[in-house]
Amino acid sequence: MVQSHFPGAISNKDLVTKTVNLLSSKGYDGQNTLLATSLCCDELARQLEDDFNGIYGNNFNLGGLAGFPFAGNTGFGAMSAHIPDDGYCLTVYGPHVGVAADGTVGKVERSGIDLIDTCCGSAVAASNYVDSITNGGRSVTMQIQTFTDFQQNAVQELILPHGKRLADADIDGKRMVELPYALYDSQNMLLSEIVKGGSTGIKRGLALLGGVQINTGPDTPDYFVPLRFDYMNYRGDVIDDLLPALTGSDSDDDSDDDEE
Ligand SMILES: [Zn+2]
Protein backbone atom coordinates (compact mmCIF):
# COMPACT_ATOMS: atom_id res chain seq x y z
CA MET A 1 0.00 0.00 0.00
CA VAL A 2 2.87 2.36 0.86
CA GLN A 3 4.54 1.58 -2.46
CA SER A 4 1.34 2.22 -4.42
CA HIS A 5 1.34 5.79 -3.11
CA PHE A 6 5.12 6.20 -2.99
CA PRO A 7 6.88 4.20 -5.73
CA GLY A 8 10.44 3.32 -4.81
CA ALA A 9 9.76 3.19 -1.05
CA ILE A 10 11.93 0.67 0.78
CA SER A 11 11.72 -0.42 4.42
CA ASN A 12 14.00 1.32 6.92
CA LYS A 13 15.70 -2.03 7.52
CA ASP A 14 16.59 -2.41 3.82
CA LEU A 15 17.61 1.23 3.65
CA VAL A 16 20.02 0.95 6.58
CA THR A 17 21.52 -2.35 5.40
CA LYS A 18 22.14 -1.09 1.86
CA THR A 19 23.37 2.33 2.97
CA VAL A 20 25.83 0.90 5.48
CA ASN A 21 27.17 -1.57 2.89
CA LEU A 22 27.63 1.09 0.23
CA LEU A 23 29.33 3.47 2.65
CA SER A 24 31.62 0.80 4.07
CA SER A 25 33.08 0.47 0.57
CA LYS A 26 34.03 4.16 0.91
CA GLY A 27 35.70 3.56 4.28
CA TYR A 28 32.82 4.39 6.66
CA ASP A 29 32.57 2.40 9.88
CA GLY A 30 30.99 2.75 13.31
CA GLN A 31 34.08 4.49 14.74
CA ASN A 32 35.10 6.99 12.07
CA THR A 33 31.64 8.27 11.10
CA LEU A 34 29.39 11.04 12.43
CA LEU A 35 25.70 10.72 11.65
CA ALA A 36 23.84 13.99 11.08
CA THR A 37 20.13 14.27 10.44
CA SER A 38 17.66 16.88 9.33
CA LEU A 39 14.28 15.40 10.13
CA CYS A 40 11.05 16.70 11.70
CA CYS A 41 10.66 17.32 15.45
CA ASP A 42 7.86 14.70 15.51
CA GLU A 43 8.78 11.67 17.64
CA LEU A 44 7.75 9.46 14.71
CA ALA A 45 10.74 10.85 12.80
CA ARG A 46 13.10 9.45 15.46
CA GLN A 47 12.61 5.88 14.24
CA LEU A 48 14.82 6.44 11.20
CA GLU A 49 17.50 8.00 13.41
CA ASP A 50 17.29 5.08 15.84
CA ASP A 51 17.77 2.64 12.96
CA PHE A 52 21.00 4.40 11.93
CA ASN A 53 22.10 5.16 15.54
CA GLY A 54 22.58 1.42 16.03
CA ILE A 55 25.43 1.58 13.50
CA TYR A 56 26.93 5.06 13.78
CA GLY A 57 25.98 6.19 17.31
CA ASN A 58 24.15 9.35 18.37
CA ASN A 59 23.35 11.83 15.63
CA PHE A 60 23.96 15.55 15.34
CA ASN A 61 20.54 17.14 14.77
CA LEU A 62 20.37 19.78 12.04
CA GLY A 63 16.60 19.63 11.62
CA GLY A 64 13.44 21.24 12.88
CA LEU A 65 9.73 21.35 11.99
CA ALA A 66 8.84 19.45 8.80
CA GLY A 67 12.51 18.41 8.51
CA PHE A 68 13.98 21.75 7.38
CA PRO A 69 17.68 22.18 8.27
CA PHE A 70 17.01 25.05 10.68
CA ALA A 71 20.40 24.60 12.38
CA GLY A 72 21.68 26.35 9.25
CA ASN A 73 25.26 27.30 8.43
CA THR A 74 26.29 27.50 12.09
CA GLY A 75 24.84 24.09 12.90
CA PHE A 76 26.50 22.52 9.88
CA GLY A 77 29.82 24.12 10.81
CA ALA A 78 29.60 22.77 14.36
CA MET A 79 28.57 19.36 13.10
CA SER A 80 31.44 19.07 10.63
CA ALA A 81 33.90 20.05 13.37
CA HIS A 82 32.63 17.00 15.28
CA ILE A 83 33.40 14.54 12.48
CA PRO A 84 36.22 12.25 13.71
CA ASP A 85 39.68 13.26 12.47
CA ASP A 86 40.21 11.90 8.97
CA GLY A 87 36.65 10.53 9.21
CA TYR A 88 33.33 10.69 7.46
CA CYS A 89 29.84 12.09 7.76
CA LEU A 90 26.49 10.68 6.70
CA THR A 91 23.72 13.28 6.58
CA VAL A 92 20.17 11.90 6.34
CA TYR A 93 17.48 14.46 5.58
CA GLY A 94 13.97 14.96 4.31
CA PRO A 95 10.32 15.50 5.23
CA HIS A 96 8.05 12.77 6.56
CA VAL A 97 4.51 11.70 5.79
CA GLY A 98 2.11 9.32 7.51
CA VAL A 99 0.20 6.52 5.81
CA ALA A 100 -2.69 5.23 7.95
CA ALA A 101 -3.72 1.57 8.03
CA ASP A 102 -6.65 2.31 5.69
CA GLY A 103 -4.26 3.86 3.14
CA THR A 104 -4.99 7.51 3.92
CA VAL A 105 -1.90 9.59 3.11
CA GLY A 106 -1.07 12.42 5.51
CA LYS A 107 -2.48 10.73 8.61
CA VAL A 108 -1.20 8.00 10.89
CA GLU A 109 -2.12 5.99 14.01
CA ARG A 110 -0.11 6.84 17.11
CA SER A 111 0.45 4.65 20.14
CA GLY A 112 -1.85 5.65 23.03
CA ILE A 113 -3.89 8.15 20.98
CA ASP A 114 -7.33 7.32 19.56
CA LEU A 115 -7.44 10.18 17.10
CA ILE A 116 -5.83 9.34 13.76
CA ASP A 117 -4.30 12.73 13.12
CA THR A 118 -2.18 14.51 10.53
CA CYS A 119 1.43 13.57 9.85
CA CYS A 120 3.40 15.69 9.18
CA GLY A 121 1.35 18.20 11.19
CA SER A 122 3.67 21.09 10.43
CA ALA A 123 3.61 20.33 6.69
CA VAL A 124 -0.17 19.98 6.56
CA ALA A 125 -0.63 23.27 8.43
CA ALA A 126 1.73 24.95 5.95
CA SER A 127 -0.13 23.33 3.06
CA ASN A 128 -3.43 24.71 4.40
CA TYR A 129 -1.83 28.14 4.70
CA VAL A 130 -0.69 28.06 1.06
CA ASP A 131 -4.13 26.81 -0.02
CA SER A 132 -5.80 29.71 1.78
CA ILE A 133 -3.64 32.07 -0.29
CA THR A 134 -3.98 30.33 -3.69
CA ASN A 135 -7.70 29.60 -3.33
CA GLY A 136 -9.03 31.69 -0.50
CA GLY A 137 -7.67 35.16 -1.13
CA ARG A 138 -5.79 35.28 2.15
CA SER A 139 -2.73 37.46 1.95
CA VAL A 140 0.84 36.46 2.72
CA THR A 141 1.79 37.16 6.31
CA MET A 142 5.41 37.68 7.20
CA GLN A 143 5.55 36.57 10.81
CA ILE A 144 9.10 35.32 10.80
CA GLN A 145 9.95 37.77 13.59
CA THR A 146 7.50 36.04 15.91
CA PHE A 147 10.03 34.01 17.84
CA THR A 148 7.45 31.87 19.65
CA ASP A 149 6.65 30.16 16.33
CA PHE A 150 9.39 31.10 13.94
CA GLN A 151 10.08 27.62 12.58
CA GLN A 152 6.47 27.12 11.46
CA ASN A 153 6.38 30.61 9.97
CA ALA A 154 9.52 29.72 8.03
CA VAL A 155 8.01 26.41 6.85
CA GLN A 156 5.01 28.34 5.52
CA GLU A 157 7.28 30.82 3.78
CA LEU A 158 9.38 28.06 2.25
CA ILE A 159 6.38 26.12 0.89
CA LEU A 160 4.82 29.20 -0.77
CA PRO A 161 6.63 28.74 -4.12
CA HIS A 162 4.94 25.33 -4.44
CA GLY A 163 1.37 26.68 -4.23
CA LYS A 164 0.54 25.95 -7.88
CA ARG A 165 2.13 22.50 -7.80
CA LEU A 166 0.06 21.55 -4.74
CA ALA A 167 -3.12 23.03 -6.23
CA ASP A 168 -2.56 20.96 -9.40
CA ALA A 169 -2.10 17.79 -7.33
CA ASP A 170 -5.35 18.64 -5.55
CA ILE A 171 -7.25 18.06 -8.79
CA ASP A 172 -6.35 14.36 -8.68
CA GLY A 173 -6.79 14.18 -4.91
CA LYS A 174 -3.03 13.78 -4.51
CA ARG A 175 -2.13 16.89 -2.57
CA MET A 176 -0.93 14.91 0.46
CA VAL A 177 1.27 12.72 -1.78
CA GLU A 178 2.77 15.73 -3.55
CA LEU A 179 3.34 17.71 -0.34
CA PRO A 180 6.39 15.75 0.94
CA TYR A 181 8.01 15.88 -2.53
CA ALA A 182 7.51 19.66 -2.64
CA LEU A 183 9.00 19.95 0.85
CA TYR A 184 11.89 17.71 -0.17
CA ASP A 185 12.73 20.01 -3.09
CA SER A 186 12.87 23.05 -0.78
CA GLN A 187 14.88 21.18 1.86
CA ASN A 188 17.28 19.74 -0.69
CA MET A 189 17.93 23.21 -2.09
CA LEU A 190 18.53 24.68 1.37
CA LEU A 191 20.76 21.87 2.53
CA SER A 192 22.78 22.00 -0.71
CA GLU A 193 23.42 25.69 -0.06
CA ILE A 194 24.40 25.01 3.55
CA VAL A 195 26.78 22.20 2.51
CA LYS A 196 28.33 24.40 -0.17
CA GLY A 197 28.91 27.15 2.38
CA GLY A 198 30.50 24.72 4.84
CA SER A 199 32.34 22.43 2.44
CA THR A 200 35.78 23.41 3.76
CA GLY A 201 34.82 21.74 7.07
CA ILE A 202 34.23 18.34 5.47
CA LYS A 203 36.93 15.92 6.56
CA ARG A 204 37.44 12.80 4.47
CA GLY A 205 34.01 12.48 2.88
CA LEU A 206 30.36 13.44 3.19
CA ALA A 207 27.39 11.39 2.05
CA LEU A 208 24.04 13.11 1.57
CA LEU A 209 21.06 10.76 1.79
CA GLY A 210 17.85 12.64 1.07
CA GLY A 211 14.31 11.44 0.59
CA VAL A 212 10.84 11.11 2.02
CA GLN A 213 10.38 9.30 5.31
CA ILE A 214 7.11 7.36 5.55
CA ASN A 215 5.66 6.64 8.99
CA THR A 216 3.05 3.95 9.46
CA GLY A 217 1.14 2.82 12.57
CA PRO A 218 2.82 1.42 15.72
CA ASP A 219 2.72 -2.22 14.56
CA THR A 220 4.02 -1.80 11.02
CA PRO A 221 7.46 -0.82 9.68
CA ASP A 222 8.46 2.60 8.41
CA TYR A 223 9.68 3.26 4.89
CA PHE A 224 11.88 5.70 3.00
CA VAL A 225 11.84 6.89 -0.61
CA PRO A 226 15.49 7.67 -1.46
CA LEU A 227 15.74 10.65 -3.82
CA ARG A 228 19.42 11.54 -3.50
CA PHE A 229 22.49 9.66 -2.31
CA ASP A 230 25.58 11.64 -3.23
CA TYR A 231 29.07 10.98 -1.97
CA MET A 232 31.28 14.07 -1.78
CA ASN A 233 35.01 14.38 -1.26
CA TYR A 234 36.65 16.71 1.26
CA ARG A 235 36.14 19.65 -1.10
CA GLY A 236 32.40 19.10 -1.34
CA ASP A 237 32.56 17.86 -4.94
CA VAL A 238 30.15 15.04 -5.72
CA ILE A 239 32.38 12.19 -6.83
CA ASP A 240 29.88 9.33 -6.73
CA ASP A 241 26.12 9.06 -7.23
CA LEU A 242 25.19 6.10 -5.05
CA LEU A 243 21.43 6.40 -5.61
CA PRO A 244 21.17 3.77 -8.40
CA ALA A 245 23.04 1.25 -6.25
CA LEU A 246 20.74 2.04 -3.31
CA THR A 247 17.49 1.81 -5.24
CA GLY A 248 18.61 -1.15 -7.33
CA SER A 249 17.97 0.74 -10.55
CA ASP A 250 21.53 0.19 -11.81
CA SER A 251 20.86 -3.41 -12.88
CA ASP A 252 20.79 -2.22 -16.50
CA ASP A 253 24.00 -0.24 -16.14
CA ASP A 254 26.63 0.49 -18.79
CA SER A 255 23.92 1.88 -21.06
CA ASP A 256 25.07 5.32 -19.99
CA ASP A 257 28.35 6.07 -18.32
CA ASP A 258 27.73 8.65 -15.63
CA GLU A 259 30.66 10.83 -14.73
CA GLU A 260 30.75 13.43 -11.97
ZN1 LIG B 1 6.39 16.49 11.15
What pLDDT is attached to residue 144?
A: 63
pLDDT higher than threshold 80 for residue 193: yes
49 vs 60, 246, 247, CA distance in Å? 10, 18, 20
What pLDDT is attached to residue 259?
A: 44
User: 97 C-alpha to center of ligand 1: Å?
Assistant: 7
User: 253 C-alpha to center of ligand 1: Å?
Assistant: 37
What pLDDT is attached to residue 254?
A: 45
- Per the CB < 8 A criterion, the answer to whether 189 and 153 are in contact is no
Average pLDDT over residues 55-72: 98
Taken in order of first residue, the domains within the chain and their CATH numbers are 9-242 (3.40.1050)
User: 233 C-alpha to center of ligand 1: Å?
Assistant: 31
What distance in Å separates the CA atoms of residue 119 and residue 57, rounded to the nearest whole number? Answer: 27
What share of the chain in percent tops pLDDT 70? Answer: 94
Average pLDDT over residues 103-124: 96
Length of the chain equals 260
Query: Which of 126-130, 143-147, 192-196 bottoms out in mean pLDDT, i.e. has the lowest?
Result: 143-147
Q: Which amino acid is at 229?
A: F
Query: Which of 37-46, 181-190, 235-244, 246-255 bottoms out in mean pLDDT, i.e. has the lowest?
Result: 246-255
pLDDT higher than threshold 70 for residue 90: yes
Q: In terms of Cα–Cα distance, which of 221, 258, 241, 195 is closest to 47?
A: 221
- Per the CB < 8 A criterion, the answer to whether 214 and 223 are in contact is yes
How many of the other CB atoms lie within 10 Å of CB of 79? Answer: 22
Express each pLDDT in 13-36 by its tens digit. Answer: 999 999 999 999 999 999 999 999
What distance in Å separates the CA atoms of residue 148 and residue 34, rounded to the nearest whole number? Answer: 31
Average pLDDT over residues 5-12: 97
User: 180 C-alpha to center of ligand 1: Å?
Assistant: 10
Q: In terms of Cα–Cα distance, which of 79, 77, 78, 13 is closest to 47?
A: 13
Neighbours of ion ligand 1 (CB under 5 A): 40, 42, 120, 122
pLDDT higher than threshold 70 for residue 91: yes
What distance in Å separates the CA atoms of residue 26 and residue 23, rounded to the nearest whole number? Answer: 5
